[in-house]
Amino acid sequence: MNFSYTILIPLIPLAVFLLLGIFNQRIKPSVSGYIGVFGLLASAILSLYAAYQYFFIIGKVDGVYQTFVEKTVWMNFTETLSIDMGILIDPISVMMLIVVSVVSLMVHIYSRGYMKDDDGYTKFFAFLSLFTFSMYGLVLATNLFQIYIFWELVGVSSYLLIGYYYTKPSAVAAAKKAFIVTRFADLGFLIGILIIGYYTGTFDFETLNNPEGSAILNWASTSFMGLSAITWALILIFIGGAGKSAMLPFHIWLPDAMEGPTPVSALIHAATMVVAGIYLVARLFPMFYFVQDGFALNIVAYVGAISALFAAIIAITQTDIKRVLAFSTMSQLGYMMLALGVSGYDGHEGVGYMASMFHLFTHAMFKALLFLGAGSVIHAVHSNYLKDMGGLRKYMPITNITFLIAALAIAGMPPFAGFWSKDEILVAAFEHNKLIYFIGVFVAGLTAFYMFRIYFGIFWGKDKVYEHTPKESPLSMTFPLMVLALLSIVGGFIPFSEFVSADKAGFEAHLNYPLAAIAVGVGLTGIILAWLFYKKENNLADKFANAFGVFYKWTYHKFYFDEVYLFITKKIIFKRISAPIAWFDKKVVDATMEGIGNKTVLTSEKIKGMQSGKVQDYAFAFVGGTVVFAIVFIYLWTNN
Amino acid sequence: MDFSSFLLMRQEILLLAIALLLILTEIFMPQNKKSSIVDLAIFLFGIHVIIGFFAIEEGSMFGGMFNTNNLIHFFKNVLNVGVFVLLLQSADWLKEKIVTHNRGTEFFVLLFSSLLGMYFMISAGDFLMFYLGLELSTLPIAALAAYETTKRISSEAGIKLILSAALASGVSLFGISMLYATTGSIYFNDIIEVITATNLSILGLILFFAGLAFKISLVPFHFWTADVYEGAPISIASYLSVISKGAAVFILMILLFTVLKPLMHIWEHIIYVIAIATMSIGNLFALRQQNMKRFLAFSSIAQAGFILLGLIIGNQLGTATVVYFVLIYVFSNLAAFGVVQAISLETGKENINDYEGLYRTNPKLSLVMMLALFSLAGIPPVAGFFGKFFLFIAAASEGYYILVFIAVVNVTISLYYYLLVVRAMFLRKSESAIPFFENKLYMRLGLIITVLGILILGLYSPLYDYIFELSSKLL
């Protein structure tokens, strides 16, 4: 028995994409929705079966989960260095298969309702399938280069989907921004890959990650500016991951990416693509951990922690509910990064790694739920802004309940899924780095506060003046909400540590009651504050905003990151660097080229007389050419 | 005598039989039904093409005058497919000629005779067989170039071709006689043993080379090309630029790489100079052509220059890249000529200006043309890119960096004029654009085959490996 059938998991969405893409105009929208959903259903069933087979039947040998690899050589560079294509089955890739499958399936079903009257319905499903294919490919990649290829494919599909409403200038700008910012970070990734290939002679994850392998043991062989080459490579790779996972300072694309349709935000910018960076670090975790005593891993931890804090603060002041969720996503991604950063390797030491993956898993469910719930609300009131919402619990009971469940989960309230995974993260941080632990606890409180701020704002308070009376969304939209809500409740009870751990051996995790109590207490405080501020309309919030004054303003403007970037690109790069280069290009390079071109045409004009149309001239050229050759070569030869 | 050895000549015998059968049919067919001879010829030749795909034994006959091996057989198949596509593209034109001008069907007999000549030429084991094949392949084409007897320009093309060809084959024969004089044999196998570089043998080489260079239209032996292409019927121009040129390149390669290999230090310089001249002159003239047929004539001259990059290195890699390039070139050029044929047949228009706005009225034809031109220009991922790429790699592998650089510059120039046509079709708007028309079945088939060829050859790489494998036969 083997896992070669898992190749079908990515291939089915690819086939769906090609089918819908090629026959775009000829397929009825209703049919294309079904093709998308059933294609993905097939992939999801295969994924779940693969997970069952792996975790419960054949994956474990002598108490350690094995890695199954099936691959073919795609391109050979040297004797040892080649680019392979294949599939890699290990605990985290199987776990990711489930996440991608479940969330993507739910989003597909949801989109059938949400995108119902859209003109590009078929195109939308084609893009969704393309994205799902790329994400599966990324998850199953066997080596750095393959993951990079799918990494970029994911970026392209994300670009297509953010810019889906291509008649809206803001959507087009957001798509470009997301693409360029992540591309910029990917440059680091690519350089990192090349360095690894150069110094270790392989791209293969299995070889690289082997704790007894030469890549890890010989990390110190070359150094550059005090750090080993491999450490540099890992830092560069992490930059790529930080770009995709919207870590500081590459986070600026994520809020803007909310211009895409809401199901897309749920799928790509909450549950799957943005965790690719986390996945990448986890994929290379043994390297991060062992090389140079985890220097690169420390960077991961601090970047994660700062991003988590930074995003949570901004989320408090935003008024567009999707943007609140976007910053919340960034904050939670920071959580996962910091958990990886503080993790050890063996047994219970590796609790951070396990917690990070666990949180990735639970977060995917409840954050997708939050986005889809927000989509349901937006669908009903036709606005993204908090000021246009209020009292919706009466009109949308299912959305209300499921949103509440998700909010409780993300706030870390027991027994919802987020509580369990967040607790493990805090345990890991507490054991390794107290500073990061305190940041984590503080962020937990902020999270609860901003999440219930929008919850109360949307569903409680006074009714706003609605153009149409809001009504509950159709079943195709509420069904995914209910499924995800269920998963957000029970997801936490999975004994995750027995399946996923850094050394793949599994361990038993216990709830740390004192730490859990602190976290829950902080979370409850956040919720209560939100209740005081926003349950009823009052001016408490405004008073606080005024009290904080400048700080509030800074936060509201996201600490002016966008403005700084704009200043750097427009005023410095464009004006001081690009403009002179453009001048040089136009006046020197182009002018030279045009000169050559003109000369060519001129020459062509001048020699046209050669083709006279007279056969005797042709014969003369023929014989003359032969004679010249004869003379030249016989002369040359006799000279030799 | 064991007649089974004649099976080595299966292709030749079958083609001859088809030609004779067509003559008989022509005689006994009532006049009002003669246009169906076109269908018959295509059908018979189609069978011939299919039979050609079956493997053939390797060996030689007539005391070494006639050779065949898998590479030669493969190349005959390439020629077959090319001629088949050509027949498909010419079918409607021929039917019209037969019906309206009451012309005979000598077209097929002449065309097949010429093809037969090429078979013998590339299978030749000595200079006599080679020369006979060369003549048999050229003379019928001169008659065909003058096929449109009502047009003065067509007669002019015929007479120009026959005069130039006579000169070329005379020079070539003179060269062969000198090679005979220095080696005492006309058999390739004997010559290869004894040939050395003497004044006489070098002169023989150069004269002999000039004859084949004429067929490939290398500079300065190329002048006839544009005039003949312009005047001759499009099918014949297409035949000259694709089939005739392909066969000549192939036999030239065989002779240079085997018989004349001891003189390689001489001919590599000749080819070096001629390659640069051919690429540059072909491109410079192609730049300003207005007539599609002349345009394609000069483009095919430039392409021949690129082929020389593979010839110059004289080894298995060179053979493989040349054969692969010719194969791609056959499909690309046939596609381009096919579109020209279709449009000329429907409207009589042959100038680049007439193609303006074609995409709006005839999108499919424009796409075929675009694909063909992209392939000729060498834009990835269509086949032409790989053809050129491999040629350049091959030349670079032997250290001809300057030559490759010049070739790359020439590719850039060629890009300009190929895209000029694409621009006319796609970007220009015209009030008097060629109106929409539907192609007939044969033409459509002919174009579809070429398009498939261009796409598949570009994407299916094992074919190149197969050709590379075959190329070991030569050396």
| Same domain, yes or no: A569 and A547 | no
Q: Which residues of B80-110 are buried (b: 16+ CB within 10 A; e: fewer)?
A: bbbbbbbbbbbbbbbbebbeeeebebbbbbb
Contacts of A602 in chain B (CB under 8 A): none
| Same domain, yes or no: A317 and A228 | yes
Q: Which of A513, A533, A556 is the last residue of a domain?
A: A556
Q: What is the pLDDT of residues B446-460, one digit of tens each?
A: 999 999 999 888 777
| Same domain, yes or no: A578 and A530 | no
What one-character DSSP code corresponds to residue A73? E
Contact A637 B226 (CB under 8 A): no
For A636, nearest residue in chain B (alpha carbons)? B266
Of B221, B288, B416, the CB nearest to A622: B221
- What is the pLDDT, as a whole number, of residue A638? 59
* Average pLDDT, rounded, for chain A: 85
A45 pLDDT more than 90: yes
* CA A148 to each of CA A137, A141, A142, A247: distance values in angstroms, whole numbers, following the listed order: 10, 9, 11, 19
For A634, nearest residue in chain B (alpha carbons)? B199
Contact B202 A615 (CB under 8 A): no
Contact B413 A605 (CB under 8 A): no
Nearest chain A CA: its distance from B332 CA (Å)? 25
Contact B288 A630 (CB under 8 A): no
For chain A, the domain total comes to 2
Contacts of A621 in chain B (CB under 8 A): 220-221, 223
Q: What is the pLDDT of residues A402-442, one digit of tens each?
A: 999 999 999 888 888 888 888 888 888 888 888 999 999 99
Q: Which residues pair with B351 in a beta bridge?
A: B291
Nearest chain B CA: its distance from A447 CA (Å)? 51
Ordered alpha helix ranges (H), A460-535: 475-490, 496-499, 513-534
* Alpha-carbon torsion (A512, A515, A517, A523), positive or negative: negative
| Same domain, yes or no: A585 and A442 | no
With H, G, I as helix, E, B as strand and everything else as coil, classify residue B167. Answer: helix
Contacts of B199 in chain A (CB under 8 A): 634, 637-638
Contacts of A608 in chain B (CB under 8 A): 285, 288
Tell me the average pLDDT across B255-263. 89
Alpha carbon dihedral B165, B168, B170, B175, in 10-degree steps, equals: -150
Contact B171 A638 (CB under 8 A): no
For B168, nearest residue in chain A (alpha carbons)? A622
Q: What is the pLDDT of residues A204-227, one digit of tens each?
A: 888 888 888 777 777 777 777 778
With residue A367 as reference, give the H or E element that holds it: helix A351-381
- What is the pLDDT, as a whole number, of residue A253? 87
B427 pLDDT more than 90: no
Per-residue confidence band for B330, with pLDDT thresholds at 50, 70 and 90? very high
Q: Which of A556, A576, A596 is the last residue of a domain?
A: A556
Question: Which has more confidence, A633 or A108?
Answer: A108
- What is the pLDDT, as a whole number, of residue A381? 85
Q: What is the pLDDT of residues A294-335, one digit of tens each?
A: 888 889 999 999 999 989 988 888 888 888 999 999 999 999
Q: What is the pLDDT of residues B107-128, one digit of tens each?
A: 899 999 999 999 999 999 899 9
Compute the C-alpha angle A358/A359/A364, nearest 5°: 105
Taking any CB pair shorter than 8 Å as contact, residues of chain B touching chain A are: 159-160, 163-164, 167-168, 171, 197, 199, 202-203, 206-207, 210, 214, 219-221, 223-224, 226-227, 266, 269-270, 281, 284-285, 287-288, 413, 416
Contacts of A603 in chain B (CB under 8 A): 284
Nearest chain B CA: its distance from A628 CA (Å)? 10
Q: What is the pLDDT of residues A435-471, one digit of tens each?
A: 999 999 999 999 999 999 889 888 887 777 777 778 8
Taking any CB pair shorter than 8 Å as contact, residues of chain A touching chain B are: 597, 600-601, 603-605, 607-608, 610-611, 613, 615, 617-619, 621-626, 629-630, 633-634, 636-638
Tell me the average pLDDT across A336-350. 86
**A507-511, B100-104, B120-124, range with greatest mean pLDDT:** B120-124
| Same domain, yes or no: A632 and A548 | no
**A173-177, A203-207, B129-133, range with greatest mean pLDDT:** B129-133
Residue A426 sits in which domain range?
Answer: 4-556
Contacts of B270 in chain A (CB under 8 A): 629, 633
Contact A638 B168 (CB under 8 A): no
- What is the pLDDT, as a whole number, of residue A464? 75
Tell me the average pLDDT across A526-538. 79
| Domain range summary for chain B, segments of one domain joined by + | 3-471
| Same domain, yes or no: A66 and A100 | yes
Question: Which has more confidence, A227 or A192?
Answer: A192
| Same domain, yes or no: A612 and A510 | no
Q: Which residues pair with A82 in a beta bridge?
A: A76
| Same domain, yes or no: A541 and A586 | no
User: Do B330 and B82 form a contact (C-beta atoms < 8 A)?
Assistant: yes
Interface test with B, best of A626, A632, A638, A640 (most B CBs within 10 A): A626
Lowest pLDDT segment from A368-377, B181-190, B455-464 = B455-464
Per-residue confidence band for A637, with pLDDT thresholds at 50, 70 and 90? low
User: ipTM for the complex?
Assistant: 0.85
- CA A59/CA A66 separation, integer angstroms: 6
First to last CA, chain A: 72
* CA A613 to each of CA B85, B213, B226: distance values in angstroms, whole numbers, following the listed order: 31, 19, 9
* Alpha-carbon torsion (B309, B314, B317, B322), positive or negative: positive
Per-residue confidence band for B162, with pLDDT thresholds at 50, 70 and 90? very high
